[in-house]
Amino acid sequence: MEVQTLIAKGSLYFLLIKSYKGDLFEVVRYIHHQSLKMLSVYDDNMNIKAGLLLYYKIFEKSA
């Protein structure tokens, strides 16, 4: 697969997971992955990013 195709699919997965508020069982119905394990990687990355943003906000207020 081309890199652009992989990036486009990854973006779609992020968008679906975000739209369905992390409900991976619902998202898996609309994509070709039959494994929740692959989707959980995308979900974990979204949670890490959100946590990091909160972390920065907390320390910006204390500075």
> Six-digit token pair at 42?
């995308």
pLDDT in tens, the chain (63 residues): 444 454 556 678 788 888 888 888 888 887 776 677 777 777 777 777 777 788 888 888 776
Q: What is the pLDDT of residue 8?
A: 59
Please check whether residue 13 is in contact with residue 35, taking contact to mean a CB–CB distance below 8 angstroms.
no
Q: How far apart are CA 32 and CA 30, in angstroms?
A: 7
Q: What is the pLDDT of residue 57?
A: 84
Instruction: Estimate to the nearest angstrom the gap between the alpha carbon of 7 and the chain centroid.
Output: 13
Place of tokens 């998202």: 27
Query: Residue ranges per domain, the chain?
Result: 3-62
